[in-house]
């Protein structure tokens, strides 16, 4: 028998708040976390709004330990905060006998924002153009003056995983994947495989990202991927609605504690759900476009169900990737129809990106937590701002109002640039 993987802790840092219960209630109520962008002056950008994390302080979560991470980037701080809450929720905060080399980290972690103004000033100011070389003394002086007050010094995507390993003494396998919008779903799927094959007993997994900065917004605007509904930002994220005009950029983190079943039971852990299936594919088609027939998405969902040993009749809820772009929503709908056939119209599907925006590398982690909560409470969150039906998107997207539903098994989809497709199956736990 293969090793079973259960979820024993989870938490998130989101544009709607930083704790499980209050954010969940806001999602069920259809509240929006989208506001005019405040972390930088976006007033001249084609898109001047985003879903930002607000009122956040790492000290609230880590206390004096926050000073150990003084140079950490914004996304790393989100991950540390979410991990602290998930770790405590899993009952690991008071566990002294945990074998540290059997605890690993696998994140979908995005790159941090670069402070281009200060970086450019230091680089250009120290360059001797007459001699075509760097004046190291001048550079050091400018760098010291410019960087002393800057917190976000770290850029590498893997550093969030490193900070978590340090803070929680996770000396086992440590990985980071940056497969765009599918990153945290892929990280959690690969983390389950690590536990299954015996390389770890506990994996800290999920994702973190913040691209709400000039480079991130400029890039997505150039791709024409972002909504430009500046006059109505709270309703700008409209997955599956015919009037959708792009996604809303968000930021945040989601961390889940994945644990081998017997290990969790021996320490008396509270088991929240079981991760039972994972599928991962590539479209092998184009870098920025999904395959027109949903080839990779269809395969990923099928592999996840096969891995879990379930059929389409077992799936009670689908957490859609549902970005709110014309192409993504149409093709995801097509892929679901291909996999589920006639039953596709009977399965509730929703996209919480309509409220939280698109958290990029962190999106899948947030959405898997939503699936666990749907199983726990028998409630599925709505797809808000769904007003005008699209003939290409004719399924049940739980429009605008949350709904009671008996959810035992849920499917979570994530698709990313490069043609990455990942799907996870999470189920109510039973012996």
Co-location of 134 and 178 in the same domain: no
Q: Name the 3-class secondary structure at 318.
A: strand
From 18, 83, 163, 181, the catalytic residue: 181
**How far does the chain reach from its first CA to its final CA, in angstroms?**
14
From 163, 209, 213, 358, the catalytic residue: 358
| CATH number, position 46 | 3.40.47.10
Co-location of 134 and 205 in the same domain: no
From 163, 209, 263, 321, the catalytic residue: 321
Q: Is the pLDDT of residue 93 over 80?
A: no
Co-location of 295 and 342 in the same domain: yes
Annotated active-site residue 233? The verdict is no
Average pLDDT of every residue of the chain: 92
Annotated active-site residue 69? The verdict is no
Co-location of 188 and 95 in the same domain: yes
Determine the average pLDDT of the residues in 198-202.
96
Co-location of 15 and 51 in the same domain: yes
Cβ contacts of residue 120 below 8 Å, gap of 6+?
Answer: none
26's enclosing H/E stretch is helix 20-29
State pTM to two decimals: 0.93
Co-location of 299 and 404 in the same domain: yes
Range of the structural domain that residue 248 is part of: 5-113+154-427
pLDDT tens column, 113-132: 665 556 666 666 667 777 77
pLDDT tens column, 12-29: 999 999 999 999 999 999
Co-location of 301 and 404 in the same domain: yes
Annotated active-site residue 321? The verdict is yes
Confidence tier at 155 by pLDDT (50, 70, 90): low
pLDDT score recorded for residue 289: 80
| Domain boundary, last residue among 103, 130, 147 | 147
Q: Is the pLDDT of residue 3 over 90?
A: yes
Co-location of 40 and 15 in the same domain: yes
SS (H, E, C) 147-210: HCCCCCCCCCCCHHHHHHHHHHCCCCCEEECCCHHHHHHHHHHHHHHHHHCCCCCEEEEEEEEE
Co-location of 248 and 393 in the same domain: yes
Co-location of 133 and 190 in the same domain: no
| Domain boundary, last residue among 105, 129, 147 | 147
Q: Name the 3-class secondary structure at 284.
A: coil
The percentage of residues in the chain with a pLDDT greater than 90, rounded to a whole number, is 81
Co-location of 276 and 223 in the same domain: yes
pLDDT score recorded for residue 146: 58
Co-location of 327 and 351 in the same domain: yes
3-state helix, strand, coil in the chain (%, to 5): 40, 20, 40
State how many domains the chain has: 2
The whole-angstrom separation of Cα 249 and Cα 256 is 23
CB-based contact 209:249 (threshold 8 Å): no
| Domain boundary, last residue among 129, 147, 165 | 147
Cα diameter, the chain: 74
């Amino acid at each position: 028998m293969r090793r079973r993987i259960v979820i024993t802790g989870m938490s998130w840092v989101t544009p709607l708040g930083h704790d499980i219960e209050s954010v969940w209630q806001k999602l069920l109520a259809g509240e929006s976390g989208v506001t005019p962008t405040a972390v930088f002056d976006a007033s001249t950008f084609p898109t001047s709004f985003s879903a930002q994390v607000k009122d956040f302080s790492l000290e609230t979560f880590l206390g004096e330990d926050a000073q150990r991470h003084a140079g950490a980037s914004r996304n790393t701080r989100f991950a540390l905060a979410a991990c602290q809450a998930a770790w405590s929720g899993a009952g690991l905060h008071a566990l002294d006998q945990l074998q540290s080399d059997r605890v690993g980290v696998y994140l979908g972690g995005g790159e941090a924002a670069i402070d281009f103004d200060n970086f450019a000033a230091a680089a250009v100011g120290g360059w001797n153009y007459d001699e075509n070389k760097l004046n190291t003394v001048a550079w050091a002086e400018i760098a010291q003056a410019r960087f002393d007050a800057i917190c976000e010094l770290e850029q590498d995507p893997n550093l969030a995983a490193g900070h978590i390993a340090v803070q929680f003494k996770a000396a086992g396998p440590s990985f980071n994947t940056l497969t765009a919008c599918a990153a945290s779903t892929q990280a959690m799927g690969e983390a389950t495989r690590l536990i299954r094959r015996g390389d770890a007993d506990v994996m800290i997994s999920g994702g973190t990202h913040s691209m709400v900065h000039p480079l991130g917004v400029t890039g997505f605007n150039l791709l024409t991927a972002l909504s430009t509904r500046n006059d109505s930002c709270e309703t700008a994220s409209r997955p599956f609605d015919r009037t959708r005009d792009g996604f809303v950029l968000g930021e945040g983190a989601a961390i889940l504690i994945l644990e081998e079943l017997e290990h969790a039971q021996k320490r008396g852990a509270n088991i929240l759900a079981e991760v039972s299936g994972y599928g991962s594919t590539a479209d092998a088609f184009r870098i920025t476009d999904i395959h027109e027939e949903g080839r990779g998405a269809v395969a990923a969902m099928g592999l996840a169900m096969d891995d879990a040993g379930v059929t389409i009749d077992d799936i009670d809820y689908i957490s859609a990737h549902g970005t709110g772009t014309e192409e993504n929503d149409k093709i995801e709908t097509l892929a679901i129809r291909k996999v589920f056939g006639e039953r596709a119209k009977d399965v509730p599907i929703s996209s919480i990106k309509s409220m939280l925006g698109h958290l990029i590398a962190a999106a899948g982690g947030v959405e898997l937590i939503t699936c666990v909560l749907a199983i726990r409470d028998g409630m599925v969150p709505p797809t808000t701002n769904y007003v005008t039906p699209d003939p290409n998107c004719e399924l049940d997207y739980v429009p605008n109002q949350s709904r009671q539903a008996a959810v035992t098994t849920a499917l979570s989809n994530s698709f990313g640039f490069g043609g990455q497709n990942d799907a996870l199956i999470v189920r109510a736990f039973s012996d």
